[in-house]
Homo-oligomer: A and B are copies of this chain.
Amino acid sequence: MRHDGHVTGGYLKGRIRREDIITTAVAVYAEAGYHGSSLREIARRVGITHAGLLYYFPTKESLLAAVLERRDAQDTERERLAVPPGREALAHLVALAEYNVRHPGIVDVYARLAAEAVAADHPAHDYFERHYRMARDYAVASLRVLAERQELRPGVDPELAGLNLVALMDGLQVQWLSNGGAVDLVGALRFYLRDLLTVPLD
């Protein structure tokens, strides 16, 4: 208990401050990318100095790592990716796209970082390589399940269609961002999936 009557709660204030910094970093990354963002700008929005920020995250890279970790945790939580591959998983994919369309900031960071991280020496390169591989495997596995149940249109290769599904979502996001949301991202995704299946998703 401090003399002003407030309880600091041990490390609680520190954890809140860390979360605050991460949230702010996401917003700044969305505007300027990772390389284009400065610790000073992020710190300014949080209300501390850039040296103060470095007290919580010792390097610029460690802050990026924290941003990516939190994103993974949130995705897993929200979409309950524990859902086994299959029809329900594809429905979740559409739900995720719908969520993203309502939260352009998230899409923005992601698209920007993914493109930056194409460079092999980018600090997020391995993260995105892993992320894409997992997304592809999940999509392919889901389509394989449908194929076994004869719910996939004849001639559709689960391997290639799964790769295309992930690529399509990515490409649609970039176009959707580029022209300020005029592209019907969710409609195009639904069309692709409906066209692939013999039994509609919903």
How many of these chains are in the complex?
2
A168 to B171, alpha carbons, bound, how many Å? 6
Total interface residues on A, using CB and 8 Å?
A: 48
Q: Given contacts A188-B160, A191-B164, is CB(A179)–CB(B115) below 8 Å?
A: no
A7 to B96, alpha carbons, bound, how many Å? 64
Q: Residues of A with Cβ closer than 8 Å to B?
A: 31-33, 35-36, 108, 111-112, 114-120, 125, 128-129, 132-133, 136, 155-157, 160-161, 163-164, 166-172, 174-175, 177-180, 183-184, 187-188, 191-192, 195
- Does more than half of chain A's interface fall in helix, strand or loop, or is it mixed? helix
A119 to B187, alpha carbons, bound, how many Å? 24
| CB-defined contacts of A192 to chain B, threshold 8 Å | 160, 164
